[in-house]
Structure 1
Amino acid sequence: MAEQSGVSVDLWLLSGIEDFRHYTLKLVQQNRRTLAILTRDLDELIFGTDEFTEALSAFSRSSRHTQIQILIKDTKPAIESNHQLIRLAQRLSSKIQVRKMTVEPNNKEMAFVLGDTDKLLYKNDESVYRGFYNSSAARELKPLREEFNYLWQYAEPEPEFQLLLI
């Protein structure tokens, strides 16, 4: 169960899949303009739920200025499972962009979700559900956003994710 940090009322220490589901959903619901996701394989248990897909769909349609960027290290699991988030991205391709990383991040084990300029959900290690959520993380978010932008610059569209209209 999530535990509020003694350092800040906006910082929650997360441990377990339920914490990550809850706070990832909360981040999307509290967001206004931009969302950036860096993940190893688009974890089906977090990003593949109906609640998350519905929240992301509502967020993407909330304003003409919304922008969602998703960077995936390994696209094979999402392709094989016909991931519902990828199907949503195909339908909303002007709002949701998905790319495959070609350059490794500095910390190869981390994953994160960046919301606007101040919300951060951080997973220390993709193989373990431990990390934190901070709704006032402007200072921590800035270097992660810079790294994300660098990785995005060199990432490529995944041909398997392209929707063929015939």
Structure 2
Amino acid sequence: MTVRIRKYSWQLAPGHIRDIRQRVFIEEQQVPPELEWDDTDEIADHFLAVLPDNTPVGVARLFSSLNETAHVGRMAILPEHRGKGIGETLLRHLLAEAAGQYDEVRLSAQEHAIPFYQRSGFHVCSDVYDDAGIPHYDMRCLAPELAVAALEERDHPLLLEADRQSWLFENETRMLALMDSLAGQAGQRIWLYDRLLEHDLYDRFRFRELISALARRHRLSEVRLLIHDDKPLVKRRHQLVELMRRLPSRIELKLVNDDYPVEDQPFMLIDREGVLYRHDFSKPAGFCNFSDSGRVKLLSEAFQRMWDAGRSSLELRQLPL
């Protein structure tokens, strides 16, 4: 169905926006009025979806926190207009608005709506919680620009175990977006093999936070870092190393043993399905797959052989705390 999306500030928003939220959230879903109307409305951009004859059918809002992360919220479609693709059009419009300005878009999804958001590049990133008496999950998209570009050709872009098409990359920006999108969905393990733990790749705040979140999630979490050279880690403080020393049972680092065969290309493995593979240690070029159990199995076997033959870093062990 053809719809147009109009954007307003709260001060200039037409009454239709408030009316739709009143009907859907307060009357239909029984959300208390004092929870529905908040101060965020004043700083958010508000979007109204209208039919070709100007009939208002849906709303949503978009705002940022610390100018780093965009938040989608208060998304509602009138009952008589649901199931026609209007919500998807509205969501993707907001995602396009955020892409280019923000590296992350977050939202709070009611449990039944998770598949709807997954089709547009979002993945679950929290346990269930209660919001106004309704079960919710936090969801996020860590590569909004990539998601927007792929929405027409992929059913579940960037979703682990569901996005079955390869992503190619030839520059660092695209590679890091894919790397973070994979790492952010790890449920149990991240295995990383590279020549160095380069600061520009692996000492970024967001990547460290994703590694930390996995390591702290449960006792079976496993982060393995397998590298060739630890001297740069000794010369310059690396936050992944600091994190490893705080969580030694969850994050381990080893050096490859050159007396045994080693792989010629770096890669990162996420659980049993995700892989980011570079063609060369020194270049940000390669491919990323979110659903490739066959390749992950082969690379896991190669990683395990190198890991079993690997050795601990004596220099890191001797660093002062």
Give the TM-score, by structure 2 length. Answer: 0.48
1:10 matched to which residue of 2?
A: 165
Say yes or no: does 1:112 pair with 2:284: no
Work out the CA distance in 2 between the residues paired with 1:81 and 1:123: 25
Report the aligned-residue RMSD: 2.3
Picking from 45, 60, 64, the partner of 2:200 is 45
Say yes or no: does 1:88 pair with 2:218: no
Work out the CA distance in 2 between the residues paired with 1:9 and 1:74: 34
1:58 matched to which residue of 2?
A: 213
Say yes or no: does 1:71 pair with 2:252: no
2:310 matched to which residue of 1?
A: 155
Say yes or no: does 1:22 pair with 2:22: no
* SS at structure 1 position matched to 2:201: helix
Letter paired with 1:63: H
- Contact 1:39 1:71 survives alignment (8 Å): yes
Work out the CA distance in 1 between the residues paired with 2:320 and 2:234: 18
2:125 matched to which residue of 1?
A: none
2:278 matched to which residue of 1?
A: 123
- Contact 1:13 1:131 survives alignment (8 Å): yes
Work out the CA distance in 2 between the residues paired with 1:165 and 1:46: 24
Picking from 76, 81, 99, the partner of 2:254 is 99
Q: Which one has a bigger Cα radius of gyration? A: 2
2:295 matched to which residue of 1?
A: 140
- Contact 1:17 1:45 survives alignment (8 Å): no
2:32 matched to which residue of 1?
A: none
Q: Indicate how the Cα distance of structure 1 residues 139 and 9 shifts in structure 2: closer, same or farther if over 3 A, else same.
A: closer
Work out the CA distance in 2 between the residues paired with 1:47 and 1:59: 15
- Percent pairwise identity: 27
Work out the CA distance in 2 between the residues paired with 1:95 and 1:84: 15
Work out the CA distance in 1 between the residues paired with 2:199 and 2:224: 17
Cα distance, 1:14 vs structure 2 = 1.0
Cα distance, 1:107 vs structure 2 = 3.7
Larger RCO (CA within 8 A; separation ≥ 6): 1
What residue ranges of structure 2 are gaps of 5+ in the alignment?
A: 1-144, 154-162
2:48 matched to which residue of 1?
A: none
Work out the CA distance in 2 between the residues paired with 1:69 and 1:105: 19
Cα distance, 1:164 vs structure 2 = 6.7
Q: Where does structure 1 differ by over 6 angstroms across 4 or more consecutive aligned residues?
A: 1-4, 163-166
* SS at structure 1 position matched to 2:184: helix
* SS at structure 2 position matched to 1:114: strand
